[in-house]
Amino acid sequence: MPFSYANISEFIPKIDTFHRIIGSYQGDIPGPNLVFFGAIHGNELAGVYALKKVLDELHNLRPEFKGNFYAISGNLKAIEQKKRYIGKDLNRIWFPGCIIPKEEREIIQEYHEKIEILSVLKDIVANDHLTLVFDLHTTSSQSVPFVSISDTLKNRKLIQNLPVHLVLGLEELLDGPMFSFFSELGVPAVLFEAGQHEAVSSFENHVAFIWLMLHKLKCLKKKDIPDFNSHKVTLKKNTMGKRRIYEIKYRHLIDDCDNFRMKEGFVNFQKVKAGQTIAYDKNGKIKAPRSGRIFMPLYQPQGRDGFFIVKEIKPFWFRLSNRTRKWKLDSTISLFPGIKKLNNGQNAYLIDKTIARWKVISLLHLFGYRKMEYNGNSIVMSRRPYDKVFPEPVEVRKNIEEYLEEMRK
Residues near Zn ion, by CB under 5 A: 41, 44, 137
Residue 302 or 362: which CB sits closer to Zn ion? 302
114 or 137: CB nearest Zn ion = 137
* Rounded CA separation 205/50 (Å): 9
Nearer to Zn ion, 172 or 330 (CB): 172
Distance of closest approach, residue 193 Cβ to Zn ion, in angstroms: 7
**DSSP string for 123-169:** HHHTT-S-EEEEEEEEESS----EEEE---HHHHHHHTT-SSEEEES
Q: How far is the CB of 41 from Zn ion (least distance, A)?
A: 4
Kind plus residue range of the DSSP H or E element containing 394: helix 393-408
CA 192 to CA 238: how far, in whole Å?
14
Nearer to Zn ion by C-beta: 34 or 90? 90
Q: Give start and end residues of each alpha helix (H) in 240-335.
A: 315-326
* Least distance CB 172 / Zn ion (angstroms): 18
Q: Which CA distances in Å does 120 have to 84, 93, 115, 179, 311?
A: 22, 17, 9, 16, 37
Considering the complex, what minimum distance in angstroms separates the CB of residue 128 from Zn ion?
31
Kindly give the pairing relationship between strand 245-253 and strand 131-139: unpaired
In the complex, minimum distance from the CB of residue 134 to Zn ion, in angstroms, rounded to a whole number: 13
Of 32 and 176, CB closest to Zn ion? 176
Q: Least distance (Å) from Zn ion to the CB of residue 138?
A: 6
Rounded Cα gap, residues 171 and 169, in angstroms: 5
CB of 116 to Zn ion, least distance (A): 18
* Closer to Zn ion by Cβ: residue 195 or 292: 195
Distance between CA atoms of residues 402 and 404, nearest Å: 5
Which residue's C-beta sits nearest to Zn ion?
A: 137
CB 58 within 8 A of CB 95: no
Burial class (CB in 10 A: 0-12, 13-18, 19+), 303: middle
CB of 303 vs Zn ion, minimal distance in Å: 9
For residues 172 and 371, what is the distance between their CA atoms, to the nearest angstrom?
7
The nearer residue to Zn ion, 137 or 244, going by C-beta atoms, is 137
Q: How far is CA 19 from CA 101, 113, 137, 405, in A?
A: 27, 12, 18, 24
Nearer to Zn ion, 37 or 211 (CB): 37
Cα separation of the two ends of the chain: 38
